[in-house]
Amino acid sequence: MSSKWVLTFDKFMSDLEVKALRKTLEAAVIIAKSKAHQGPVRDSCIIELALGTGLRVSEISALRLEDIDLKRGGNSLVVRHGKGDRLRLVKFSSGLKTTIQDYLDYRDSSSLYLFPSVRKELMSSTAIQKVFKKWAKKAGLPARYSIHSCRHFYASALLKVSKNLRLVQQQLGHKSYQSTIVYSFSQDEEITEAVEKL
Of 33, 80, 107, 148, the catalytic one is: 148
- Catalytic site residue from 42, 97, 152, 174: 174
Sign of CA dihedral 48, 53, 58, 62: negative
Q: Check if 64 is active-site.
A: no
- Tell me, yes or no, whether 183 lies in a domain: yes
pTM as predicted: 0.83
pLDDT at 158: 81
Give me the pLDDT at residue 100, please: 96
Which residue from 162, 45, 186 is spatially nearest to 106, judged by alpha carbons?
45
Query: Is residue 65 assigned to a domain?
Result: yes
Inter-residue contact 167 to 183 (CB < 8 Å):
no
Q: Which residues of the chain register pLDDT less than 70? A: 1-10, 82-85, 164, 174-198
**Residue 4 in domain:** no
CATH code of the domain in which 167 resides: 1.10.443.10
Domain extent, residue 126, equals 9-196
183 counts as catalytic: yes
pLDDT digits 0-9 by tens, 144-165: 999 999 988 888 888 787 776 7
Is residue 104 in a domain?
yes
Rounded Cα distance, 179 and 183, in Å: 8
| Residue of 42, 97, 151, 152 marked active site | 151
Say what the pLDDT of residue 92 is: 93
Whether 159 is covered by a domain: the verdict is yes
pLDDT at 150: 93
Query: How many whole angstroms separate alpha carbon 135 and alpha carbon 28?
Result: 10
106 is catalytic: no
**Is residue 47, in this structure, part of any structural domain at all?**
yes
**Has residue 163 been placed in a domain?**
yes
Give the largest Cα separation in the chain, rounded. 60
* Residues 174, 161: Cα–Cα separation, whole Å: 19
- The whole-number pLDDT of residue 69 equals 94
The verdict on whether 174 is a catalytic residue reads yes
Catalytic choice (64, 80, 83, 130): 83
pLDDT value at residue 170: 73
Structural domain includes residue 150: yes
- Specify the number of domains making up the chain: 1
Task: Indicate if 71 belongs to the active site.
Answer: no
Annotated active-site residue in 42, 56, 97, 152: 56
Contact 173, 1 (CB under 8 A): no
